[in-house]
Amino acid sequence: MPTDKEIATRSRLRCEIDVTPAFYDIDVMEIVYHGNYVKYLELARSALLAKFDYDYPRMRESGYGWPVVDMRLKYVRPATFGQRLKVEASITEWENRLRIDYVMRDAQSGQKINTAYTIQVAVDMRTREMCFVCPPVLWERLGVEP
Amino acid sequence: MPTDKEIATRSRLRCEIDVTPAFYDIDVMEIVYHGNYVKYLELARSALLAKFDYDYPRMRESGYGWPVVDMRLKYVRPATFGQRLKVEASITEWENRLRIDYVMRDAQSGQKINTAYTIQVAVDMRTREMCFVCPPVLWERLGVEP
Amino acid sequence: MPTDKEIATRSRLRCEIDVTPAFYDIDVMEIVYHGNYVKYLELARSALLAKFDYDYPRMRESGYGWPVVDMRLKYVRPATFGQRLKVEASITEWENRLRIDYVMRDAQSGQKINTAYTIQVAVDMRTREMCFVCPPVLWERLGVEP
Amino acid sequence: MPTDKEIATRSRLRCEIDVTPAFYDIDVMEIVYHGNYVKYLELARSALLAKFDYDYPRMRESGYGWPVVDMRLKYVRPATFGQRLKVEASITEWENRLRIDYVMRDAQSGQKINTAYTIQVAVDMRTREMCFVCPPVLWERLGVEP
């Protein structure tokens, strides 16, 4: 069972954004093309990391690249043009890799559109080598302990 | 152990295409943006299904939509602008859902770039209902038995 | 010289949206890829037409498609990741074709990023024929006279 | 009237590529989304410049960036999923700026799909300043005189 502190940490390490599919996101079936949800994940992840002052430009300044090494999306129901969506992103691992979990919902009904996760690892930009433990800068920014 | 017939079927249900990342596929890190590989999967899947006369327009004519319900990509090493890649796609399930597995490699060295799979289910376009068993038209086109 | 009524019409037929370039919009030169601004035009056009209850789904209901037949973009200065932009879209022709002019600016300094226009013509969706005069539904929605 | 030498130069400074619209390029109207043709221009331009050993990586090595400063597309007829297209790109100016003209045609009938041009200017990557005359490296690669 998670401690109170763990619960507080988890609830702090999250962020929710609004997304509305654009005309160019929709395919001939009149639903969002499955590959375009990846962009919505990016927007949510970017907002979440910006909240901790560690979005892409800050990552770079810290000397680390954070390539995505694993990504999975499960599609529950389709979204369409102009539908208002909520994308919630939560940091769920930060020790050896940065895992973010996502839930996308219809903004009005709360019905689930899809769920996803991405896993990123730190790459030292000087040596181009992958780090098997996340660099301390991540923990400092997130205010967590490894 | 797979029978000879099973081995023959598996080797028949595959296809390989050439892809070369374009300038607009590359991000600031000078590698293919992770979301853009989804397009390469689409190209390989489309070529594979066209081989069996069952690509998107034929699917539609047959009365079924085939939305992607699950997708996973594992990124092994980055690809970059102008690098020649091979994307191999293989149909690995066709009974209740259509699963396609992908391996992307550097064309020259054969080094793995990433692996992926997509799972699609049939949706009857008249009723808008999901089919829990693939429609016979899929098996006929692929020349397989459920 | 435009009449007061003309000035009032022009000022009514406009809309401004906020756009912030995402990571996937940026190229290796660390600026927005020139082709991606086309998406920002789409977002502004879509918001503008929605204001007059004539965005894409309403167009379709009215029996007309409105393909873009001419598009031009002039790039003044580059935009980058996370930069807040304003995109202003104005309807400047509605008699025989729908012309929309765009100005994109840095939200803070007001410096011009680029200017653009798109020209759309109505296509009757039953006959698939292009209309050489805009259909009255456009004028009614916009509250203008041809 | 152009001289024989001019005619020979013009015919040398061109390139043609094959493009087939993918599923993700098609919109709800079942035609290529107008913004996606910009990618086809990029592919043709990239192939043309590669022919003269001056595509993006070589540009960068030469110390110049070449941002697009003006782009225009005129859409004649729509293209659709799986349609084979030819995109011809020709260098038509190289003195003060690099202008490339494009014609996109149906591969079978030769019917025009659209025409376009892009104009790029050189930017000195050390000073970040725009060059009002193209740098000699362009002329050397193209084998032309300013």
Q: What distance in Å separates the CA atoms of residue A28 and residue C35, rounded to the nearest whole number?
A: 22
B37-48 average pLDDT score: 98
ipTM beyond cut 0.90: yes
For C34, the closest chain B residue by CA position comes to B24
User: Quick check: B71 and A104 in contact, CB under 8 A?
Assistant: no
Q: Which residues pair with D64 in a beta bridge?
A: D124
Q: What token pair was written down for D114?
A: 């659209």
Tens digits of residue pLDDT in C72-102: 999 999 999 999 999 999 999 999 999 999 9
* Rounded Cα gap, residues A104 and A17, in angstroms: 10
Q: Which residues of chain D does A35 touch, with a Cβ-Cβ cutoff of 8 Å?
A: 24
What residues of C act catalytically?
27
- Whether the per-residue pLDDT at B128 is higher than 80: the answer is yes
Interchain contact, B35 vs A42, CB within 8 Å: yes
Q: What share of chain D in percent tops pLDDT 90? A: 91
Encode pLDDT of B65-112 as tens digits: 999 999 999 999 999 999 999 999 999 999 999 999 999 999 999 999
Q: pLDDT tens per residue, chain C (146 residues)?
A: 788 888 888 889 999 999 999 999 999 999 999 999 999 999 999 999 999 999 999 999 999 999 999 999 999 999 999 999 999 999 999 999 999 999 999 999 999 999 999 999 999 999 999 999 999 999 999 999 88
The answer for residues whose C-beta is within 8 angstroms of residue C95's C-beta and 6 or more apart is C133, C134, C146
Measured distance CA(D52)–CA(A4) in Å, rounded: 65
Q: Of these residues, B18, B27, B70, B124, which one is catalytic?
A: B27
Q: What is the pLDDT of residue D45?
A: 98
CA nearest neighbour of B45 among B70, B75, B15:
B15
Contact C28 B30 (CB under 8 A): yes
What does the alpha-carbon distance between residue A135 and residue A64 come to, in Å, rounded to a whole number?
8
Residues in a beta bridge with C88: C16, C103
**Residue B1 pLDDT > 80:** no
In single-letter form, the type of residue at position A88 comes to: E
The torsion region of residue C119 among left (phi > 0), alpha (psi -120 to 50) and beta comes to beta
Which residue in chain B has the smallest CA separation from D25?
B39
Cβ–Cβ gap B81/D24 under 8 Å: no
Kindly give the pairing relationship between strand A98-106 and strand B98-106.
unpaired
Helix, strand, or coil here: C135? coil
Q: Which of C17, B138, C123 is nearest to D77 (CA)?
A: C123
Cβ proximity of D122 and D66 under 8 Å = yes
Question: Got the DSSP string for C68-130?
Answer: EEEEEEEE-S---TT--EEEEEEEEE-SSSEEEEEEEEETTT--EEEEEEEEE--EETTTTEE
pTM for the structure as a whole: 0.96
Amino acid at C139: W
Query: pLDDT tens for residues D70-100?
Result: 999 999 999 999 999 999 999 999 999 999 9
Residue of C73, C65, C41 lying closest to C138 (CA atoms) = C65
pLDDT surpassing 90 at residue B146: no
| Cβ contact B24–C28 (<8 Å) | no
pLDDT of residue C7: 87
Q: What are phi and psi of B126, to 5 degrees?
A: -80, -45
| Alpha-helical runs (H) found in chain D | 4-12, 37-51, 56-61, 136-142
Q: What is the CA radius of gyration of chain B?
A: 16
- What pLDDT score was predicted for residue C5? 85
**Across the strands, what pairs with B123?**
B65, B130
Q: Are D113 and D104 spatial neighbours (Cβ–Cβ below 8 Å)?
A: yes
Most distant CA atoms of chain D, gap in Å: 48
Mind listing the pLDDT tens digit of every residue in chain A (146 residues)?
A: 788 888 888 889 999 999 999 999 999 999 999 999 999 999 999 999 999 999 999 999 999 999 999 999 999 999 999 999 999 999 999 999 999 999 999 999 999 999 999 999 999 999 999 999 999 999 999 999 88
Mind giving me the DSSP string for C78-90?
---TT--EEEEEE
Neighbours of D40 (CB within 10 A): 25
Residues of A in contact with C24 (CB under 8 A): 39, 42
SS3 D1: coil
**Chain C residue with Cα closest to B33:** C24
pLDDT at C21: 98
**Residues of chain D neighbouring C58 (CB-CB closer than 8 A):** none
Torsion of CA C9, C12, C13, C15, to 10 degrees: 160
Q: What is the set of domains in chain B, with CATH numbers?
A: 4-142 (3.10.129.10)
